[in-house]
Structure 1
């Protein structure tokens, strides 16, 4: 069982608030990335393209999300479960995904990285904080105000996947983006399982950030064959996540009590 210190919710969770944050985050990131004039498929051409094309929007989003979460008073329920899943063994799925991260990093052509390019790519780690806080943090808190935990998992994972459709408007190929959407749904399920089994969103933030960073890193220079195997391992982890996610949903008591006062510290 996860123990957490009392913390008042300044604003009572509602589904529309979570959806508004999800839409607002996508609109913010899209607007900033479009304004740079750097197409999605050219981010890897230089350190400047990478920073202004991807990193800048993540830095701004990080600041605004931190302010939003503080104003709502949702930090504790966004980052921590009331109780960890009774079934802890499904954590083998995110461990398998973490293995794929290690394989990607081991197969990366690090000799092709310049210092400036590596510094710019480190900013991509922020995607773990921003996308997890939005999708499996604030959105989950909002969905739990009214829905069964099964719907919380499905809707948060589905919206996480669908959010990647904006990449088409940023210049990404249609077919590749559709595959990315499906892969993100599977990845979202992996991260949800990690939240439920550890009782904290923080580990999901770390794994998410490292996965995205490792995927981008393999696109620099000439990667080793190990990278292709890593993709298979990650995809396998995603399908296994679908097979076992019911075990971490079962018995969840995370739904917010609509009758509680928004300032009632006993809820968390």
Structure 2
């Protein structure tokens, strides 16, 4: 994979996206065969998460791909990430799904911890930086955000109806663009990881009624539009955050400090 990254960072990102999709598909099929959702998928993604952390860390790319905390000035510029929290809280009035038992809940939590980290690292880390190196931050924001949203079409295989899928893709594109703006502004994927985990867990542990989902999705879209415009304004004032390699491996790749819009 490292050689592929050196030759083509974009195909490197695409390869990880494909691997994630295939692993989730195989895990879901095996879980269904065993009679309980996520029993294979969750452990499989734990393994993939560990592999990716070791892979990125071994090559000194943690900082470059945004696996670091935001810096102090980032909090004020991003309104202390409070709009992200508002998106999560919108899920709670739907009510807890009482059909879930303790093991179901544990599997959902483990799965979403991994999904949140993996998708942010791959889409807002690998893919965003690969596009930014060649095309600049603006295209990286749009392409990584839209690709992330459209990628949710694979959930049709998880039993989602057409209406639920269309709603999810629309909301995922909006959230993807907001999270890409946050990465461009702060250089960190971690706020997106936290949001991704919390919104997925709250969504999976609450009831799934199409009417309620429509209300929640509308609220999330409104927050995304308003917050997105605020982030665009801040990005124009501050410019994209510089990508950087880890201190222990700054010479690993010259592009770790390139890609800034001119």
TM-score range, shorter chain: 0.7 to 0.9
1:125 — aligned with what? 113
User: In the alignment, which of 135, 156, 159 is matched to residue 171 of structure 1?
Assistant: 159
Note closer, same or farther for the CA distance 1:103–1:245 as it changes in structure 2 (3 Å cut): closer
Deviation at 1:77, TM superposition (A): 0.9
C-alpha RMSD of the superposition: 3.9
Cα distance in structure 1, aligned partners of 2:183 and 2:22:
26
- How many residues align? The count is 246
Unpaired runs of at least 5, structure 1: 1-10, 39-45
Work out whether residues 18 and 138 of structure 1, in 8 Å CA contact, stay in contact via their aligned partners in 2: yes
Note closer, same or farther for the CA distance 1:102–1:176 as it changes in structure 2 (3 Å cut): closer
1:104 — aligned with what? 91
Asked if residue 156 in structure 1 is aligned to residue 144 in structure 2, the reply is yes
Q: TM-score under structure 1 normalisation?
A: 0.73
Cα distance in structure 2, aligned partners of 1:113 and 1:36:
16
2:247 — aligned with what? none
Structure number with the bigger relative contact order (C-alpha 8 A, sep ≥ 6) is: 1
2:188 — aligned with what? 200
Cα distance in structure 2, aligned partners of 1:170 and 1:109:
20
Cα distance in structure 1, aligned partners of 2:67 and 2:146:
21
Deviates more, 1:136-145 or 1:62-71: 62-71
Q: TM-score under structure 2 normalisation?
A: 0.74
Deviates more, 1:59-68 or 1:86-95: 86-95
Cα distance in structure 2, aligned partners of 1:35 and 1:110:
24
User: In the alignment, which of 41, 50, 55 is matched to residue 68 of structure 1?
Assistant: 55
3-state secondary structure, aligned to 1:79: coil
Note closer, same or farther for the CA distance 1:92–1:122 as it changes in structure 2 (3 Å cut): same
Query: Structure 1, residues 160-200: CA drift from partner, whole Å, max 9, x if none?
Result: 11211111234322332122122111111222233344442
Work out whether residues 148 and 255 of structure 1, in 8 Å CA contact, stay in contact via their aligned partners in 2: no
